[in-house]
Amino acid sequence: MRGPHNIWRLIRTGATLERTEAMKVVLDAFDAPRSVRIVLRAIVWPFRWLGYKGDPSMPPATRALTALGPAYIKFGQVLSTRPDVVGDELANQLRVLQDKLPPFSLAAARKSIESELGEPADDVFLEISEPVAAASIAQVHKARLRDTGEAVAIKVLRPGIERAFRKDIDAFYLAADVIEFLAPFARRLRPNDVIAHFEGVVMGELDLRLEASSASEFAANTTNDAGFALPEIKWRFSGRRVMTMGWAEGVALGDNAALDAAGHNRAELGERVLQLFLNHALRDGFFHADMHQGNLKVAPDGDIIAYDFGIMGHIDEYTRRVYAEILYGFIRKDYKRVAEVHFEAGYVPADRDVDEFARALRAVGEPIFGLDATKVSMGRLLNYLFEVTERFGMETRTELILLQRTMVVVEGVARSLNPQINIWKVAQPVVENYIRQSIGPAALARDLGKTAMVLARFGPRLPGLVEDALVRQASGKEAPRTRSGWVVWLGVAVGALGGAAGTALILHLMG
């Protein structure tokens, strides 16, 4: 529960931020007024000695959060996906936050496994190893299934982690309340909303069934992706606190020397990892949002293997089409079209000037395209684009920020494999293919097909719904949003011509 009992935790937090010199970094990130800086530091400074020292070799923010423990590490990782909240500099610091903590004992892991699976661990697994990786929420053990001998990875939540996170999240909410009360300048960042977003992410990661479900959906989407593989989820041996999957055997994608020794083509791997990500984001609208080298391996047969599905990104179909048109417009240097797409999507208020916006976009694109192809960064372009759209009144779209952040990470992975990679040349066929598939005649035919299916389901009810709406209008009992009968028929027409959205409009108008 939120309340005064969290004050001690907040004092310890503030003291650690001050002792590690992270307080200044945080205040700079939020552009705090001088008066607020003076007051805050005056309050915290006497308690400085209570703060954790942390690792002096780390940057201040990373040092402080690592010292404060698992919930703070995870909070930093989530904030690294929100440069709109913490600024680019702090987001970059948090992006490299190390999620490595001392492991808990094998005996405790076995106890969790037995409790979750409802049978002795030795009846299910052979040779459960000591932890091979330990993070803020869980750790991983290597084992073999007793009935098949197959090598598997067992992910086990830390004992008591749910209670520990719950206590810290309560303290975060109290901190957000205090910030909103004492620092009105910070209210525009909606601190409570940020904590609520963090809570949602963490609660999802604390139920490994949800991560297993994400992995299963991701695997279904990517079955036919050449050169890409995912470990198989072993549902029979998984639960809320334990997840078992096939063991990913291979070379870490970040180990160039080992990749070369194994005979893998790093240039081809760099192109493939980028194109795979773009396909997942555009084609499927469901992508691995933590696709760094630590979560990628290369199998002996050359397949790229992804694992750790705690953070996944989702983009609806309409947003994917908008995003693809924006990328395609930049590839073609058609800044007017990029501007029009923003207005058509409602991203930029209609009272702004589209030509002025197009000129601002040209100022973003031309300096980048004037660089050598090996220095052109799609992630940087998206970052500049968000800066411009913010100046023109575009509201923050969390899903696009997560996409941009992941794009930066994947681009970094590709460049680490091949520093000479031409990001735009590699991306162009994927984007063009998606444009053809989603906006051309084939897409129109699919939309009409979807509309026909929906209308087939509701068709028998449509005459009655229309008649009822007209009767309610005539009797004065119509719903406020149904202003006239012609609107109803317009909804029917839109439904027939414009896709499933039109049918949704019919149902909305009918109340």
List C-alpha distances in Å: 62 to 34, 58, 72, 313, 483. 24, 6, 10, 24, 57
Least confident of 98-107, 194-203, 420-429, 492-501: 492-501
Torsion 370-375-376-382 (CA) sign: negative
Give the single-character DSSP code of 105: P
How much is the mean pLDDT over the chain?
Answer: 79
**Is the pLDDT assigned to residue 267 strictly greater than 50?**
yes
Q: Which residues are catalytic?
A: 290
List C-alpha distances in Å: 342 to 259, 278, 284, 339. 42, 20, 22, 5
Mean pLDDT of 396-416: 77
Mean pLDDT of 373-401: 67
Q: Which has more confidence, 313 or 28?
A: 313
Q: Which has more confidence, 47 or 85?
A: 47
What does the pLDDT read at residue 476? 64
Number of H helices, E strands in the chain: 23, 11
Least confident of 2-6, 108-112, 212-216: 2-6
- In DSSP notation, 184-238 reads GGGGGG-HHHHHHHHHHHHHHHT-HHHHHHHHHHHHHHTTT-TTEE-PPB-GGG-
**Is the pLDDT assigned to residue 182 strictly greater than 80?**
no
**Strand extents, DSSP E, 316-364:** none
Quickly state the pLDDT bin for 232 (edges 50, 70, 90).
very high
What does the pLDDT read at residue 498? 43
- Provide the percentage of residues in the chain whose pLDDT is more than 90: 28
Distance CA 116, CA 445 (A): 48
**Is the pLDDT assigned to residue 134 strictly greater than 80?**
yes
Distance CA 226, CA 382 (A): 28
Backbone angles phi, psi at 281, to 5 degrees: -70, -45
The answer to whether the beta carbons of residues 20 and 60 sit under 8 Å apart is: yes
339, containing H or E segment: helix 335-344
- Provide the percentage of residues in the chain whose pLDDT is more than 70: 78
What does the pLDDT read at residue 369? 67
pTM above 0.85, yes or no: no
What does the pLDDT read at residue 382? 65
Question: Most distant CA pair in the chain: distance in Å?
Answer: 81
Per-residue model confidence as pLDDT tens digits over 467-499: 777 777 777 655 444 444 444 444 444 444 444
What does the pLDDT read at residue 493? 43
Smallest CA-to-CA distance from 245 within 234, 257, 260 is with: 234
